[in-house]
Amino acid sequence: MFLFLGLLLAANSTIPTMLKQILAKLPRKSSKSNPTYSEGTNVTTNAPNNGSFTNTCNVISSRLNVVKKMSSSIFPTSNGEVIQPHLQFKDVQNSERPKLFISKLNLCSTIYDFDDQDKDNVEKDLKHQVLGEVLDVLVSESIKLTEPAMSAICKMCGDNLFREFPPKYSDSPRSETEYDDPWFDPAWSHIQLVYEILLRFVSLSSLDPKIAKQYIDQPFLLKLLNLFDSEDPRERECLKSVLHRIYGKFMVHRPFIRMSVSNIIFRFVFETEKHNGIAELLEIFGSVISGFALPLKKEHKMFLSRVLIPLHKPKSLGNYHHQLTYCIVQFIEKEPKLMSVVINGLLKYWPVTSSQKQLMFLSELEELLELIRADEFEKVMVPLFRRIRCLLDSYHFQVVERALFLWNNEHIQHLITSNRQVIMPIVFSSLQHNSKNHWNRTVLNLTQNVLKMFHEVDEQLVISCQGKVEEDKSATTAVAEGQAMTWTALKSCW
């Protein structure tokens, strides 16, 4: 037995490293097909697969049967009887099972110190086994859930999950270039089962939200939402499933969840710039937005302009940009007239120092311009192409190249040529300059192709733009203010 435990411990200690390696290989941005939440209907999504959990639990519980007799936890029931939590359900009478279930839940509320690997090993193993038994009950729906049982489930989940995270070593906000090792909760073997129990509980088809909302209440939800800041990616993944399910099932809580998430994001953008779970929260919101009814409520539009658009500001945008773009596209697909609001927002938060961020903005911009309608395009084209001219003047050839790629998109090219009288005068001098002088062959070539296209479409306009550039040049040389002019032009890009 001791040899066995020793082996188990030795094996356990390698697990975090292995997991890290596995997680490092996983794509960070998982975009699974999400359910959508239509307003006014309940959503039942497919149940999570339980095979692996149940199997693990069975193996462990048979191994740990030896340990049972050592447990001393005994809980009195309401009428004075006691039921030992380690009894098996099959060994007690039907009428006693709900009591035994609660007794097991109470046992699981004890928290053990996992920072010390040698402490309370017998108790830890027993709790692990009992958590598995609780999960089995929920999976098989073999016991009817009474209100005291619901209350005990929520209390047990809260006791285990609602905890302080350890302080971070480094104080700097996470950014694209920093690859800090995340913290992995040493108590995960318990925590994971608790999440699985919570997920099962809120997914039960027999669970009446009208009753359960007394236990899954607003304080419970707030504490659950706070956990999204966990550094442990496995935990955030579990939370995502749980919150999805709660949002789908508890319609009464939907406005509260939306408001609370807005508050979290708001604090992140304008105060702390530190939060580990923005990507996960946005993934949930992608589904939430696609369920919004038309016409969009004012509250929902405010979420776009006050929460989603400012999310472009933080340095760590790269951690959640993919999910953010997805949410924004969902809004535009619901309501194309929001396009100009979004593009003006992008222009407002356009990054000037980080070329990495500029590239992200450009890829989002291209995705949006592919969807833009002509009337919305006309509303934003002047400030938009002023910004693009600045990008064409950038020191970073990748930024210039990415900006020129916009011309390769047929829809965008069509919009540009239809509005060439406005757009060409804005970008012409930068294009002409690059077509003659740019040191990078690829950029040079791309620029020449764009100019060639303008030539083919409207030679007259190109000639008049050329004339204007010459005029400006001689005027500035004459007054010998060349540098001042360049300075002014540059400043308009900052």
Ligand X SMILES: *[C@@H]1O[C@H](CO)[C@@H](O)[C@H](O)[C@H]1NC(C)=O
- Residue ranges binding ligand X (CB under 6 A): 41-42, 47, 49-51, 54, 139-140, 208, 397-398, 401, 440-442, 445, 449
Least separation in angstroms between residue 124's CB and ligand X is: 25
Least separation in angstroms between residue 397's CB and ligand X is: 5
Q: Would you say 132 or 158 has its CB closer to ligand X?
A: 132
Least separation in angstroms between residue 208's CB and ligand X is: 6
Q: Would you say 442 or 466 has its CB closer to ligand X?
A: 442
Q: Would you say 50 or 363 has its CB closer to ligand X?
A: 50
**To which residue do tokens 């890829």 refer?**
363
Least separation in angstroms between residue 451's CB and ligand X is: 12
CA 150 to CA 215: how far, in whole Å? 7
Residue 131 contacts residue 190 (beta carbons within 8 Å): yes
Q: Would you say 134 or 309 has its CB closer to ligand X?
A: 134
Give backbone dihedrals phi and psi of 86, rounded to 5 degrees, phi first: -90, 0
Least separation in angstroms between residue 449's CB and ligand X is: 5
Q: Would you say 57 or 346 has its CB closer to ligand X?
A: 57
Least separation in angstroms between residue 300's CB and ligand X is: 20
The residue length of the chain stands at 494
Q: Would you say 134 or 278 has its CB closer to ligand X?
A: 134
Helix ranges (H only) for 354-409 are 355-369, 374-392, 397-405
Buried b (16+ CB within 10 A) or exposed e, 98-118: bbbbbbbbbbbeeeeebeeee
The three-state secondary structure class of 367 is helix
CA 350 to CA 193: how far, in whole Å? 44
Side-chain half-sphere CA neighbours of 42 within 13 A: 11
Give backbone dihedrals phi and psi of 82, rounded to 5 degrees, phi first: -120, 145
- In the structure encoding, which two tokens stand for residue 445, read together? 């070539």
Least separation in angstroms between residue 252's CB and ligand X is: 11
Residue 80 Ramachandran class (φ > 0 left, ψ -120 to 50 alpha, else beta): left
> Which residues on adjacent β-strands are paired with residue 76?
82
Q: Would you say 139 or 198 has its CB closer to ligand X?
A: 139
Least separation in angstroms between residue 441's CB and ligand X is: 5
Q: Would you say 263 or 442 has its CB closer to ligand X?
A: 442
CA 265 to CA 273: how far, in whole Å? 9
The three-state secondary structure class of 206 is coil
Measured in whole angstroms, the distance separating CA 393 from the mean position of its chain's CA atoms is 34
